Amino acid sequence: MKLDLLYFAWVRERIGLDGETRDLAAHTVGEALTALSALGDGYASAFAEPHRLRFALDQDFVDADAALREGAELAIFPPVTGG
């Protein structure tokens, strides 16, 4: 399934990209993280603790069990705190 992926904060720093388009064998956000983790050390490091991440699918917050759809935009980022 082709997805537009956006990475923010330390996720972006570990992967070395702010975004990319990938064709992944995944049906949920969690499966996408598993597939991405297999792409190399930076990806594995970024997604090693998925419970520390938040997700937005087409700009709506979702959980890791959310279903993906072809061409969706998946943003992956750590929780944001204000100040």
Identify the helix (H) or strand (E) that includes residue 46: helix 41-46
CB 25 within 8 A of CB 1: yes
Q: Report the Cα–Cα distance between both ends of the chain, in Å, rounded.
A: 38
Give the gyration radius of the chain's Cα atoms: 12
Q: Is the entire prediction scored with pTM above 0.75?
A: yes
Which residues, at least 6 apart from 1, have a Cβ–Cβ distance to it below 8 Å? 23, 24, 25, 26, 27, 68, 69, 70
> How would you write the pLDDT of the chain (83 residues) with one tens digit per residue?
999 999 999 999 999 999 999 999 999 999 999 999 999 999 999 999 999 999 999 999 999 999 999 999 999 999 875 55
